[in-house]
Amino acid sequence: MYLISSVFVTFLSSALAMPESYAALGDSFSAGIGSGRFLEEDGQGGGDRCARQDGSYPSRLADLMLGGGVSVDKFVSCSGDKLGNIGGQISFLNGATFDVVTLSISGNDFGFADIVVSLCPRQG
């Protein structure tokens, strides 16, 4: 009985282990526009061209899972990207595998920003 319990506990603890790696892909929603400070380097050769911010949901999720911020080479979400840009984001991962991957995309494909603006009352 002890052997079975020991094996079960070992299995259970490994199944419940916190993830060690995380990649975030997507558009401005996951980049975190308006959520905090711009990250210094976006990992795609453009300074803060992708407008990733430290208060984004990937950064918050990484804090919960990994105990620290998302490393730039795993945070490839880019403001303005559309579904057709996901292949480029995946290429920045260099074939690496991750325990957790999040993806939020298509707001730009469907003109989400224009829809939101159209719902806001005009002043003046």
User: Residue 18: what residue type?
Assistant: M
User: Does an H or E element contain 22, and which?
Assistant: strand 22-26
Predicted TM-score of the model (pTM):
0.72
User: Does an H or E element contain 81, and which?
Assistant: none
The answer on pLDDT for 121 being more than 80 is yes
Please name each of the domains of the chain with its CATH number.
Answer: 19-119 (3.40.50.1110)
Q: Across 17-31, 33-47, 61-75, which has the greatest mean pLDDT?
A: 17-31
Q: Distance from first CA to last CA of the chain, Å, rounded?
A: 77
The answer on pLDDT for 42 being more than 80 is no
DSSP alpha helices (H): ranges in the chain? 2-15, 28-31, 57-66, 86-91, 112-119
- pLDDT value for 123: 78
